[in-house]
Amino acid sequence: MSITFDQVQKSFILQAKNSTYIIKILRDKYLAHVYWGGKIPDPSVKHIENSTSRSSFSACQDEEGKFSLDNRPCEYPSYGNTDLRMPAYQIQLPNGTRITDLSYVSYEIIQGKPELKGLPAVYTEAAAEADTLLITLSDELIGLEVVLSYTVFQDYDAVIRSAKIVNKGNSGLKLLRALSMSIDFDCADFDMMSLSGSWARERHVVRRPLVNGTQSIESRRGASGHSENPFMALLSREATETAGDVYGFSFVYSGNFFAGAEVDQYKTTRVVMGINPFDFSWLLEPGEAFQTPEVVMVYSGRGLGDMSRTYHRLYRNRLARGKFRNALRPVVINNWEATYFDFNEEKLKAIAKDASKLGIEMLVLDDGWFGRRNSDNCSLGDWYVNLEKLPGGLKALADAVNEYGMGFGLWFEPEMISPDSDLYRAHPDWCLHVPDRHRSLGRNQLILDLTRKDVQDTVIDMISGVLSGANITYVKWDMNRNMSEIGSGLLPPERQMETAHRYMLGLYRVMETITGSFPDILFESCSGGGGRFDPGILYYMPQNWTSDDTDGVERLKIQYGTSMVYPGSVMTAHVSAVPNHQTGRNTSLEFRGHVAMAGNFGYELDVTTMTEEEKAAVKIQVEIYKEMRSLIQHGDFYRLLSPFDGNVTAWMYVSEDKKDAAVFFYRVLTTPNDALFRFKLAGLKEDAGYRVNGGEAVIGGAQLMNYGINIPAELGRGDFKSRLYRLKMKE
């Protein structure tokens, strides 16, 4: 049992693989946070608690004037009493007041991990994999109950938290804030890390020291967004890739979120994460419950790399689902950058024919195959094939592609509606909108109101109809704008601020239904590249188009940052043509190939216009990738040199048994007469010998990790150079 209740210490002890989490009931009423960090097999809680009475302006809970929650570490802090830091939740009562006061009631420890109905969540396959602690708190005066959930896996250093808020009273409660977790650290000597960026520049690593006040990241965009990923970490100041304390927080949700760290007057740090309280409220009628999404909290005492590998394994094995969770992903060719909207059946068949000869396994037909769509200004919602472009329909095209021995995949943007579409003309009220207000367009389109069941059902029927009509084995599910004028035609005024979250619940239902009905289709999510690259989506779709930016140099930072949380099996990465369509940069085919091979590999170019020499190079790249595909998709990832620190980047994958490894090295710009250079590998077996690139010499794991690899002189001239080293352990 990894969770126990210590009667004497009135404490819950949660033991993960190498870490411990401790909660204590204070004064038989308050739930206090005691510890989260490296493993303490047999903790003495009274020697861990670190509190002092403070003279301060805060009020006190007790008659003696000694006990204030403002200087106690809390687990799920309320608003309105003596704790004046960020609360975890806030509720408005029918009389307008916002004061609640939760008391500890009971606990339950269960094997496994209960599902979060209608929400994406990490899961167990066997009950013995994890234990879950459910702590019930209540405010009897108003009939409020809060059930906090903590799951600890045997094999992962993760604590997974969520909260369920239940109205057991007789009148409606309005949630103004319902975060998923809160935790208090007794110090503030941390850096905060986030993954920040923009379209075509997603998930760059940003690290800053914590200072007094609140530092936060959030989304108000109706999607997790390009600009901030729903992830943050606190790092001890000296923490590196390989050493130091790291506390990661990853939100399993795809909509508006808030993640903040508040350093208070006493230099303690409160971290909270959950649905963004901005423009959110939720009316909870008597008997109803509100379930928050969950936060996956990962601790590592061995730096960022170890934290990332925990997320990678957990998300690969217990968040992704379905047959493609473990299946090898196909090498894809996508026609977007090859043709944009300008294609026909002959062109696509020509691409498929040439691609099949190079070993590519799947043609994905991108935007422009439906309605009258020859540019991005119409037809979203009209999911019937454009017979002018594809006279034989999708079936004939899919069959022809299959004849070349390739699978056929199709692009959709199911959540959107173009004002110039038959669907909009029939149902102008089916988009998110506010009565009498201008409907702002993004990429010439509006967003379908997925809070409505009739709209959800229509989307499910339309997409399912297309998928049933041809041999489609891959879907790219795109989403190309954020929300504006957020409102729903069917919700009453007092529920309008539920729209953004109800949209996500509707989206999850649509995704669950469609992916569940087509288990043999590999679904890839996309949102103008990586605008919704989050764990919520991964529960439904096991891979994600990492960025619309396919430039090899830019991708180094994007993929490096993405790897903080997400494994290679999730990141789609394609080789595109040069000059690159996003940056205008020319890089070698080899360099672009080596960058893309570090993820789910494919191409995004017109293979029919390539020279024979280029085609031969592509054929070799595809062979190289296939030989190591299992390693890339299932191996452990080690970041070696950061593109954020300079001109060189390196990373590697190591198989679980450490017999197989692939090391990628990239140098962006050359420097004449540069210093000698070598870099150290990681994750290998110290006392094993490895052959490098099939050579005769056998080099010890210890040498490769302590001395490293010399960068050869022939890499000296020219920009955008890269090397791939395949390492095989000598049997």
Interface residue list for ligand DGJ (CB under 6 A)? 336, 366-367, 411, 478, 480, 526, 528-529, 545, 548
- Inter-residue contact 631 to 653 (CB < 8 Å): yes
Closer of 73 and 330 to ligand DGJ (Cβ): 330
421 backbone dihedrals φ, ψ, rounded to 5°: -150, 155
CA distance 690 to 684: 9
**Residues recorded for the chain:** 731
378: tokens are: 């119409």
Catalogue the long-range contacts made by 690-698 (C-beta closer than 8 Å, 24 or more residues apart): 690/661, 690/727, 690/728, 690/729, 690/730, 691/727, 691/728, 691/730, 692/725, 692/726, 692/727, 693/725, 693/726, 694/726, 694/728, 698/730
Nearest approach, Cβ of residue 536 and ligand DGJ (Å): 18
Q: How far apart are CA 199 and CA 350, in angstroms?
A: 31
Q: Which of 203, 41, 171 is nearest to 527 (CA)?
A: 203
In the complex, the smallest distance separating the C-beta of residue 427 from ligand DGJ, rounded to whole angstroms, is 23
The three-class DSSP label of residue 613 is: helix
Q: Give the whole-angstrom CA distance, residue 25 versus residue 9.
A: 9
State which residue, 246 or 410, has the beta carbon closest to ligand DGJ: 410
Evaluated on CA atoms 245, 251, 256, 258, the torsion sign reads: negative
Cβ within 8 Å of residue 224, ≥6 positions away: 230, 251, 253, 254, 255, 257, 531, 532, 533, 534, 536
Dihedral in degrees, nearest 10, Cα atoms 603, 608, 612, 618: 10
Provide, rounded to whole angstroms, the least separation between the CB of residue 443 and ligand DGJ: 8
Q: Which is nearer to ligand DGJ, 326 or 377 (CB)?
A: 377
Comparing CB distances to ligand DGJ, the nearer of 293 and 528 is 528
Residue nearest to ligand DGJ (CB): 367
Minimum separation from the CB atom of position 334 to ligand DGJ (A): 7
Residue among 151 and 547 whose Cβ is closer to ligand DGJ = 547
Q: Quote the least distance from Cβ 336 to ligand DGJ, whole Å.
A: 5
What is the 3 state secondary structure string of 12-64? EEEECCCEEEEEEEECCCEEEEEEEEECCCCCCHHHCCCCCCCCCCCCCCCCC
Task: Please give the Cα distance from 279 to 272 (Å, whole number).
Answer: 18
In terms of CB distance, is 257 or 336 closer to ligand DGJ?
Answer: 336
Q: Is 548 labeled as catalytic in the residue annotation?
A: yes
DSSP state of 713: G
CA distance 572 to 551: 14
For residue 212, the minimal CB distance to ligand DGJ (Å) is: 40
Give the nearer residue to ligand DGJ in terms of CB position, either 71 or 379: 379
State the residue for tokens 């806030």: 90
Q: Is 506 or 528 the residue whose CB approaches ligand DGJ more closely? A: 528
HEC-encoded secondary structure of 532-593: CCCHHHHCCCCEEECCCCCCHHHHHHHHHHHCCCCCHHHEEEEEECCCCCCCCCCCCHHHHH
Nearest CA to 502 out of 514, 490, 512, 513 is that of: 490
CB closer to ligand DGJ, 183 vs 351: 351
Q: Residue 605 Cβ, how far from ligand DGJ at the closest point, in Å?
A: 13
Integer Cα distance of 588 and 549 in angstroms: 16
Other CB atoms within a 10 A radius of the CB of residue 403 amount to 12
Compare residues 522 and 662 and give the one whose CB is closer to ligand DGJ. 522
Query: What is the C-alpha separation between 216 and 222, in angstroms, rounded?
Result: 17
> How far apart are the C-alpha atoms of 244 and 261, rounded to whole Å?
19
The rounded radius of gyration (Å) of the Cα atoms in the chain is 27
List the catalytic residue out of 70, 306, 366, 478: 478
Judged by beta carbon, residue 258 or residue 474, the one nearer ligand DGJ is 474
Smaller CB separation from ligand DGJ, 245 or 366: 366
547 backbone dihedrals φ, ψ, rounded to 5°: -165, 150
Q: Which is nearer to ligand DGJ, 360 or 416 (CB)?
A: 416
366 is catalytic: no
Q: Are 361 and 407 in contact (CB under 8 A)?
A: yes
Q: Measured from the CB of residue 8, what is the shortest distance to ligand DGJ in angstroms?
A: 57
At position 589, the amino acid (one-letter code) is L
Q: How far is the CB of 507 from ligand DGJ (least distance, A)?
A: 17
Query: Nearest distance from residue 341's CB to ligand DGJ, in Å?
Result: 8
CB of 700 to ligand DGJ, least distance (A): 44
Task: Report the nearest approach of ligand DGJ to the CB of residue 552 (Å).
Answer: 17
Angle at 137 between CA 134 and CA 139, to 5 degrees: 160
H-helix segments, 597-639: 612-634
Shortest Cβ 258–ligand DGJ spacing (Å)? 26
Q: How far, in Å, are 153, 512, 664 from residue 635 at the CA level?
A: 20, 28, 14
Is cis: bond before 672, omega within 30 of 0?
Answer: no
**Given 70, 382, 449, 548, which residue is catalytic?**
548
Active site residues: 478, 548
